Structure 1
Amino acid sequence: MSRNVILTCALTGAGDTTGKSEHVPVTPEEIASDAIAAARAGASVVHIHVRDPQTRQGSREVALYREVARIIGESDVDPVINMTAGMGGDLMVDPSAPAERLGRIEGTDLVSGIERLAHVEELRPEICTIDCGSLNFGEGSMVYVSTPDMLREGAARIRELGVKPEMEIFDTGNLWFANQLVAEGLIDPPPLYQLCMGIPYGAPADPGLLQAMVHLLPGGAQWASFAIGRNQLPWVAQSVLLGGHVRVGLEDNLYLRKGVKATNAQLVTAAADIIDRLGHAVATPDQAREILQLGGRR
């Protein structure tokens, strides 16, 4: 049976990717321009991180989010705006450092769950993310910190703001806790889950594991999934076939095919083609709002 599939474009992320592809947007103008191009290519939702224009690294600066939102808001497209609220959880741990220096190693950006919402407080996007657990993030000594107390406090505040939380699930324990947030009434229906696959060292990009995680979702949930790198576009089909929505974009993958660097709009076009070939339709932004029970542009 044909259905409308929400297609999210994750525009830039916070990873160290700007030196790997000239297409990764950095400035607010570049990020907004990519959001507009992605929406014109068919994206239902644009997922927004911002970067410091000087360092080109991920940033929590509210003014940068404000400028991206302003430019998109003044354009001729109206995608659902989904802003990350995951920045501010990075803890660098040097096992050789004196105990008094732990938590103050270069690269640490660790603030409270509420402080991670500063831009959400001001801009009230339709959706913001909430990362539902801590994770050994890649090689080295970085831990992403998102504790149960932080998550409960953050979920309650997001609910008060009238913003839809997209619960980011990096492993099965994250899913267990996200279901607990739903059971405690901290997440309004329908709950929205993003199953994030293939990110070291969380859930591997295994179709059987995705199916098992989908089976653990509560009734009435809306969900999407994505996988990083070369698995990104094949994962569009995996997600659609299991009844989910999809995400692509340069946050998670830099290539359209082997050796061919992609733009965000090209990845959206490719994903839309996969959805169409599977007999479904890409949801318009307003159809996405209806599916997720959002209030529309603010």
Structure 2
Amino acid sequence: MSKRRPVIITCAITGAIHTPSMSPHLPASSDTIISSAVAAAEAGAAILHLHARNDETGQPDQSIGGFGRIVPQIAAQTDAVLNLTTGGSPYMTVEERVQPAERFAPQLASLNMGSMNMGLFPMQSRYPDLEGWEKAHLEDSRDLVFRNSYKDIDYVLDTCRDNGTRFEFECYDTAHLYNLAHFADKGAVKPPFFVQTVFGLLGGIGAHPDDIAHMRRTALRLFGDDMVWSALGAGAHQMRVAATVVSGGGHVRVGLEDSLWAGPGVLAASNADQVTTVKALIETLGCRVASAKEACDILALPPRQEVE
């Protein structure tokens, strides 16, 4: 029997897209983010993709203080790789977004590889009773460009360079793969490239199997063996995209940042539940779940620094 391929599960715990009123299970405070992250790691997630939120309002919080309330506590309770977002929220500047990665020097940080329209407003039809910041969060995205210019990307790379932090390169469309190739060609980033392809968000590429195949084919042509390929499907696309990607030799990302759902009309009860579901899928497809140590080896991550 051939050795089973290890598949890295990333779990994106809360993100900056969904709002607290959309699901009672969305971690929207420091305490719930911590407990949900630890449970996801215990369920099999090798990487925890982290955002912070304001404890009073549940709004995205990219401050050092916000991350200071969650990062040390999660690090103390799990050996999972902590992946701090530099994407933050589309409403934030790059200077705001990079602060936590600069301060906490994580093994891994996310980095969006291009600008895009970020259309959250179609969700209004499903959540007509939202008020205050939650309503504006969706409505204002009709005129929202999620800026990730070449200057912005350089700024994140330069700011984190002395930390030794490596990156999860988030690519929402084909052009973002070419942007990554540009930075690779000029020596600004080094392999292996952890390429996280994102499917099904309005403003990015769709989630049709042809879209997945096109992104995979383009990424393989550009990066070949220098790439570690992973993918996520937004919303209802989550597990179908995961199945397609694992079948194609890739790694997967799940979590309540990307989808609030466990099935048609059924809210996911936790991040750990989604991890458990995708773990079963991975094993059904003849692979196995990678440990945190294996993820570090596959991605050539530096040792975790002490978090204070």
TM-score, scaled to structure 1: 0.89
> CA separation of 1:124/1:145 partners in 2, compared to 1, >3 Å: closer, same or farther?
same
Which residue number corresponds to residue 257 of structure 1? 263
Provide structure 1 residue ranges, at least 5 long, that are not aligned to the other structure: 91-108
Instruction: Output the CA distance in 2 between the equivalents of 1:144 and 1:12.
Output: 18
Deviations 1:200-223 (A, max 9, x none): 011011211211211222022112
- The answer to whether structure 1 residue 161 and structure 2 residue 156 are counterparts is no
Tell me, in whole angstroms, the C-alpha distance in 2 between the residues paired with 1:149 and 1:84: 18
Alignment partners' CA distance in 2, 1:233 and 1:296? 31
Contact 2:19/2:58 (<8 A) preserved: no
The reply to whether residue 279 of structure 1 matches residue 256 of structure 2 is: no
The more displaced of 80-89 and 218-227 is 80-89
Contact 2:29 2:53 in 1 (8 A): yes
Q: Deviations over 1:277-298 (max 9, x none)?
A: 0000110000100000112322
Instruction: Identify the structure with the greater helix proportion.
Output: 2
| AA aligned opposite 1:40 | E
Retained in 2: the 8 A contact 1:48–1:82?
yes
Gaps of 5+ in 2: 122-141
Equivalences for 1:50-89 in 2 at 5 Å?
50-75=52-77, 77-87=78-88, 89=90
Tell me the amino acid that sits aligned with residue 259 of structure 2: N
Query: Which residue, out of 283, 291, 294, partners 2:298?
Result: 291
Amino acid at match of 1:212: H
1:245 paired to 2:251: yes
The offset of 1:17, in angstroms, is 2.8
Match of 2:108 in 1: 127
Q: Could you tell me which of 137, 142, 145 is aligned with 2:144?
A: 142
Deviation at 1:152, TM superposition (A): 2.1
SS in structure 2 at match of 1:251: coil
CA deviation string 1:185-206 (max 9, x = no partner): 1112111111011110110112
- C-alpha distance in structure 1 between counterparts of 2:300 and 2:117, whole Å: 34
Q: Give % identity.
A: 33
Q: Which amino acid aligns with 2:81?
A: V
Report if the CA contact (8 A) 1:159-1:187 is conserved.
no
Counterpart in the other structure of 1:206: 208
Distance apart, 1:88 and its partner CA: 5.5
TM-score normalized with structure 2 length: 0.86
- Please give the secondary structure, in 1, of the residue aligned with 2:98: helix
User: Once superposed, what is the RMSD of the aligned Cα atoms?
Assistant: 1.4
Q: Which amino acid counterpart does residue 275 of structure 2 have in structure 1?
A: V
